[in-house]
Amino acid sequence: MRFTVIRAPSPYNVILGRSGLKALRAIPSTIHAMMKFPTPRGIATLVTRSTTVSECRKLEDKQVMCDEEIESGENGPPEEIMVNPAYPDQLVTIGGNLTKESETRMKISYLHPSTDEELTKKCNSQQR
């Protein structure tokens, strides 16, 4: 079995798919946060340290709180814009949390490429 070691905070000792579990003849228990598998010396047991699990949960909670703060900020309503006049039913939604400068740049660069000289040149050279 081939594997990669990744040094990162995680509540998991190892992440195995079904084929990996079968190759090890392992029996995982997510409820008990452990896994048992046979070795030449008997049954081996891998157990997760509860401190690692609690640290990872705290980090996840912080991430969720940050995401909620971003979502609950002063956001305008999303705006739907038609990109191709030939297909008026296909709209692109621009989120309301962009700054006016970012929104303007995006509209100019992506939605109206004819106003951006570099993009127009690139499109013309690809059509030839």
Q: What is the pLDDT of residues 69-89, one digit of tens each?
A: 555 445 677 778 777 778 888
- Distance from CA of residue 106 to its chain's centroid? 22
- Cβ-based neighbour number of residue 60 at 10 Å: 11
d(CA 122, CA 119) in angstroms, rounded, equals 5
Q: What is the pLDDT of residues 10-48, one digit of tens each?
A: 766 667 888 888 988 999 888 887 889 999 999 999 887
Q: What is the pLDDT of residues 85-120, one digit of tens each?
A: 788 888 877 777 777 777 777 766 665 555 445 545
Q: Residue with structure tokens 């008026």?
A: 88
Asked whether residue 44 falls in the same domain as residue 83, the answer is no
Q: 86 in a domain, yes or no? A: yes
Residue ranges of E strands in 8-89: 27-29, 34-39, 42-47, 79-82
- Which pTM value belongs to this model? 0.36
Q: 59 in a domain, yes or no? A: yes
Q: Residue with structure tokens 């010396």?
A: 41
Q: Which domain holds residue 65?
A: 18-71
